[in-house]
Amino acid sequence: MTREEAWNLMTEFTQSESLRRHMLAVEFAMRAYAGRFNDDPETWGVVGLLHDFDYERYPDVSVEGHPIVGARVLRERGASETIVRAILSHAEEITGVAPQSDMEKALVAVDELTGFIIAVALVRPSRSLLDLEVSSIRKKWKDKAFAAPVSREHIAAAAQRLGVPLDEHIGVVLEAMRANAADLGMA
């Protein structure tokens, strides 16, 4: 599946600008990690762009909702099993598909972190990613009341499974998002 096909599918299923922004942020982070693992940035980017494409229509994370319905749609649209499996792996508790490849582990590691980084940027006076630093993210990380639904433990464990120290992981994702701040509406 090409990036253009993935974009068209994502925009067909997703109207929410914030959800689209989230999927773009995950795409950018996945492309950055593809480079670090000397793998195909197109495939990794498509996985990031499509990982939540079905969430708006099927928000119930269950066997009859996200991401299982999305996996069926992806197969119908001709996506490779590599892409489908990676997307299923980001909801292991529902799908039973444990992340095994570097790409699958990276998706789990960057998914919630991108949202946390956006939340940190949005409470800053500039509302921009361009002046955001890892230290500012780590400061908010310690504030358990801030973005309370985000599981810091889940992100840290996923970074560890990926083999990247947490601060370095935050830096990789932040830099990928910062490099694409205009596309995220956060320049």
Task: Please report whether residue 118 resides in a domain.
Answer: yes
CATH number of 135's domain:
1.10.3210
pTM comes to 0.97
| Domain count across the chain | 1
Task: Please report whether residue 152 resides in a domain.
Answer: yes
Which run of H or of E encompasses 71? helix 68-76
DSSP assignment letter at 17: H
* Full residue range of the structural domain in which residue 154 is found: 3-179
Task: Please report whether residue 85 resides in a domain.
Answer: yes
Tokens of 65: 């909702």
Residue partners of 166: CB distance under 8 A and separation at least 6: 155, 156, 159, 160
Q: What is the pLDDT of residues 14-56, one digit of tens each?
A: 999 999 999 999 999 999 999 999 999 999 999 999 999 999 9
Q: What is the pLDDT of residues 132-179, one digit of tens each?
A: 999 999 999 999 999 999 999 999 999 999 999 999 999 999 999 999
Assess contact for 154 and 115: CB atoms under 8 A. no
Map tokens 């079905």 to a residue.
Answer: 54
